[in-house]
Amino acid sequence: MPTRVYLDWNATTPLRPEARAAMAAAFDLVGNPSSVHAEGREARRLVEEARAELAMAVGAVPRNVVFTSTGTEANALALSPGLRGPSGGPVERLLVSAVEHASVLAGGRFPGATIGLVQVTRSGVVDLEHLKAQLNNGPPALVSVMAANNETGALQPVADVAGIVHEAGGLLHVDAIQALGKIPFDIRDVGTDLATFSAHKIGGPKGIGALVVAEGIVGLEPVLRGGGQELNRRAGTENVAGIAGFGAAVKAALQTLREDAEHMATLRNRLENGIREIADATIFSEEVERLPNTVLFTAPALKAETAVIGFDLEGVAVSSGSACSSGKVQPSHVLSAMGFDPVVSQGAVRLSLGWSTEPDDINRALEAWRKLGNSLLKH
């Protein structure tokens, strides 16, 4: 029986051997990282080594890395009213792009009345003129824009956004969860004030995330209160094994980032060409810079839920561009924000590649798509 093909890397990734080894070593430690005895200090050492790895990878200072349970929690922690930078007053409202992850659209601790949406173009990129208008129409704002969209792969002009936001006296949060390990990302180059990350998108374990804060940013309000862990920014005993796996995954990902990106881009382009040869397909956001591993497409009369099941039956794991809630498929909010009709967005299928994706995996996916096309796209 042939092995299955996994093309849903934007949802989660396989655990890297380096992360597995680091976690196995951490599981053998008995100490609490807050304890002062030798066992506690050894656990603390693993936490701080991982903190330093992530900080070095994204151009941050280690003390400004806050470990959380997930990327979702990291986003909730970042979206904190009252944040202020070195030369500005506290932010009083939140502006988020219309294509953000649900954990950002939820608004963190900002009251609903203080949350505004920033429009995007047909290509899924933030409308900078609309952002400027929103910033000029109210008090200082925290703006949240993702580095790379999880559905389309579209890269946002975060450095341009940072300049606009800072000129208006605001602060910028970047959800970089899909970007880390796929494209270079440095908070100094981007100019962001806060950035969030998640281990399981880069070959680390599930259940560990991080918020990185730039120097001089103050006013962060903890989501969880209690002990003084993470310099009083996130209470609770640290997940030592998860953090160790996160650090090892970051180190491994950065060592081969360029080669992996080139490898994935080559296979992605071949995949897109093959999809088009088989059917009259639309590739979303193809006219702008995208992640090297992401393909979101549709074809006339295609139903995403049927296609995902069909791929699965052929041994290929892919996902839908639609969000499922209580078993009911809803149109993708990303594609809706880009101006596509719900009928179109309900037919969107996402294939996302990873560092170990092979040419034969692309062959298998295209073979499955050919069979599906012959059966699903008949009129």
Catalytic residues: 324
CB-facing half-sphere around the CA of 33: CA atoms within 13 A: 23
Measure the CA–CA gap between 4 and 114, rounded to whole angstroms.
46
- Nearest CA to 2 out of 316, 359, 362 is that of 316
- The C-alpha R_g of the chain, in whole angstroms, comes to 21
For residue 326, CA distances in Å to 10, 72, 304, 329 come to 22, 20, 16, 8
